[in-house]
Every structure is written in C-alpha cells, then in structure tokens.
Amino acid sequence: MAQTEQRTYSVPLAGNAFITDRQHDGGEISGRSGLVKWSSDQAVASVYFRTQKVGKLTLKLKAKNDGGKSKIEIDALGKKAVVDVEGTQLSETAPLSIDVKTPGYVQVDLKGLSKSGRNFAEVTELLVSGEAASEGLIFSNNPDYYYWSRRGPSCHLNYTVPTDGNVSYYYNEVTVPKGEDKIGSYFMANGFGEGYFGMQVNSETERRILFSVWSPFHTDDPKSIPDEQKIHLLKKGKDVQTGEFGNEGSGGQSYRKYLWKAGQTYKFLLKGVPDGKGNTDYTAWFFVPEENAWNIIASFKRPQTNTYLKRFHSFLENFSPNQGYLGRQVEFKNQWVYDGQWKAVQSAAFSVDNTYRANQRVDAIGGTTKNGYFLRNGGFFNEIVKPGSKFEFKNKHTAPEIDFDKLP
C-alpha cells in the first residue's frame, strides 16, 4: 500500500513570530520578511502554531544571512538543536525532531549562539512536518492577516438587554486582575452601536480612559468626512484630549490619561439620547475612586442619527502587534440599562473577530466568574469556547444610585 506523502507546512514568521525576550536589544519581526536585524545573542524570537493531534514533528528553518556563518539554537517542547545558517540565499537548516503529547499551540524559540557577520540570520519561515501535522495546523497563513494575527484575536460579550423600551443609559463595572494589564490592552466596558468607551494600557507610564464615537460617514480617513457628517464635541472633562481617529472607521475621539490600577474595580456610565433634530448626543462618565465622584470624559453629537442606545457590548483587544504573544484577561460585572428605571443584565453571548473566524489564531475565550463575565485573549493558550456561546449570570446587585441631574 502506497504511503501518503507527508505535507510540509510553511509557517511565516511575519505573521506568527515575536521577540519574546530582550525585545529592544536587536531583533525585529518584519511584516514581510520575518525575523530581521537579529544582532543580539540575548534576544529570543518565538514562533507559534497550533496542532490538531499528537505525534512526532520535524522542524526546520528557512533562513539566510548577510554572507557570514552563524549558529542558531532551536528550542521546542524541551528539545533543542543547534543549526548552521550560511549564505545569502534562503535555504533549509538541519532539523529538530519533537514529540507533541497534547494537541494545541507549540512555541518554538530561536536564539543566536555565534555569528561572523553583523546579524545571525534572516529567518522567513518555520517548516513543520510529521504525524502531529497530518490533520492540519492553525497559524496565520494569509499576508492580509499578519498584522492582525500578531495583535491576536479580539473577543466580545454581547449583553442581552432586558427591555424593549428606549434605553438612555448603560452602566458597567470593570476589573483587570493583577498581572493581566499588559501594554497594548484595551478593556472596553460600554460598547454601543455607534462607538465604545473603556480603558487602555498605552505604555509603562501611561494609561487612558478612552471614549470614541464613529461618524455616520464610513471611511478610514477622518479628513474625508463631509462637514455635515462630522462628530461634534459638545463638552469635555478636565485633562481630556479630543480629536479625530481613523483606520478602523472614523469619528470623534476623547481620552483622559489616568493611571488606573489592576485589581481595582472601575465604573463606567454612558448616555445616548436623540436631540429631537435628527441627531443623537452621546456622553460618557468615569467614576474616579480617589475623588469618589463621577467625572465627565466627553459629550459628542452624532449627526444624521436618531436613536437611543443599542447593542450593549464589551470587548477585549490588544492594539500592539509586538505584545500579541502575551495573555490578558478582564472581568465585567454588574451591568445595568436604564429605560426610565434601572434593569439588570442577566446574560451575554460570546463572539470573536475576523482573525479568529478566518482560523488565523484562536486564543480567545469568554465565560462567567463568581462576580460576572470574563474575557481572555493572547498568550497562545489551548482552551476553546465556541463563538456564539451564551452565558447566564444572575445579577443580584442593587441598581446603581446615580443622580443624573447632578452629573457633571
């Protein structure tokens, strides 16, 4: 009986690799070429793919260098091999054989040991073959997704709104567990049909409360929006920056730099009501614990819109491609909507973005905790929660006590 020909999968580093140690020392992941400018023997590059079954695997690198000769260590699942890279043409290295004992994500680490030229190598692909790959691998294989795959899949909680009435306020509470506040994270609390409101980690020293409203004119270039369809700022709070945003739709954006802390719970309040003239006004407030008071972030008028709040949701995303190998998690609890009286949210459905749906990367889940709901993404973990799953949570908290007339 003829033996089935073994398929080799080419995992492009451009969409599936990260500098996971000494990120700023000498080594970059290029969205076209993969691992480049790799000069530091301290920098570690890690490549990720997901197997569907167990068994043996053979790993090789497709690499070249600038004319010198180098030695590179490949390390995966406790096995190591030292391979040579020589020559200015791409060629395959010697193999490393590993044994996959649990289906799921495999991390392959690359470390430079010695070099005669300026850089260790330019590595374009990880070549994977063997029994554990016989039912296919999951990795980013579409150049259109490399950037998004390195960011990691975004995931969402779509709350079941417990009323058919006109909802004018959304209320939510957010807790980021200690250690889950990685740079690049956006923990979005009060999402609605026309925008979003939540908190970000922008750098080691900067965090933000962010509130944005999309223009009804669909474009990624805010400068192309006609005047009659631009978002108008009505009011902004202290220390709040406002402006336009682009790339993922366009509109009005506001943010306040605020060093929120992991492990602490924060409250978000959003209002959305028609102005009676064919527009809708959206206003966002953030409760500052140190002041024991609600602070306004901003109020925007969205033209050509006549609606109350719709599509209450939360999401978790990473907006920094270099940080996409790190995991992050967030808890959302005590959701309420106001349609003349406060009504508690009791269920939510889980959804994912195109990166996940296109099977480029699937490390994103949601569920319930003892306090509410959670979302988790990044880190290449193996647990799967089926998109579309519905979560029930009995909200037994008392309704928020907010005097709307006294809000700033």
Domains and CATH numbers, the chain: 8-139 (2.60.120.260), 152-406 (2.60.120.200)
What average pLDDT does the segment 28-41 reach? 94
Q: What does pTM read for this prediction?
A: 0.94
Amino acid at 375: L
Give the span between the Cα atoms of 155 and 367, in whole angstroms.
11
Give the span between the Cα atoms of 200 and 203, in whole angstroms.
9
What average pLDDT does the segment 185-199 reach? 98
Place of tokens 């569907």: 52
The pLDDT-based confidence of 26 (bands split at 50, 70, 90) is confident
> Is 90 exceeded by the pLDDT of residue 190?
yes
Q: Does residue 370 contact residue 175 with C-beta atoms inside 8 Å?
A: no
**Cα-atom radius of gyration of the chain, to the nearest Å?**
24
Give the span between the Cα atoms of 228 and 220, in whole angstroms.
17
What pLDDT sits at residue 248?
A: 55
Q: Look at phi and psi of residue 342 and say left if phi exceeds 0, alpha if psi is from -120 to 50, else beta.
A: beta
Looking at the chain, the whole-number percentage of residues with pLDDT higher than 90 is: 89
> Is 50 exceeded by the pLDDT of residue 191?
yes
What pLDDT sits at residue 246?
A: 56
What pLDDT sits at residue 245?
A: 58
> Is 80 exceeded by the pLDDT of residue 67?
no
What average pLDDT does the segment 387-399 reach? 96
The pLDDT-based confidence of 3 (bands split at 50, 70, 90) is very low
Per-residue b/e over 384-405, b at no fewer than 16 CB within 10 Å?
ebebeeebebebeeeeeebeee
What pLDDT sits at residue 1?
A: 36
What average pLDDT does the segment 240-264 reach? 85
Assign 147 to helix, strand or coil. Answer: helix
Q: Does residue 100 contact residue 55 with C-beta atoms inside 8 Å?
A: yes
Assign 97 to helix, strand or coil. Answer: strand
The residues that bridge with 238 in the sheet, in sequence order, are none
Per-residue b/e over 126-156, b at no fewer than 16 CB within 10 Å?
bbbbbbbbeeebbbbbeeebbebbbbbbbbb
Give the span between the Cα atoms of 261 and 187, in whole angstroms.
13
DSSP state of 31: T
What pLDDT sits at residue 220?
A: 75
Looking at the chain, the whole-number percentage of residues with pLDDT higher than 70 is: 97
Q: How far is CA 118 from CA 95, 125, 168, in A?
A: 24, 21, 61
What pLDDT sits at residue 244?
A: 64
The pLDDT-based confidence of 222 (bands split at 50, 70, 90) is confident
Q: Does residue 282 contact residue 302 with C-beta atoms inside 8 Å?
A: yes
Q: What is the mean pLDDT of the chain?
A: 94
Q: Does residue 35 contact residue 13 with C-beta atoms inside 8 Å?
A: yes
Cβ-based neighbour number of residue 287 at 10 Å: 18
Considering only residues 137 and 250, tell me which one the structure prediction assigns the higher pLDDT.
Answer: 137
Cβ-based neighbour number of residue 220 at 10 Å: 11
What average pLDDT does the segment 17-40 reach? 91
What pLDDT sits at residue 379?
A: 97
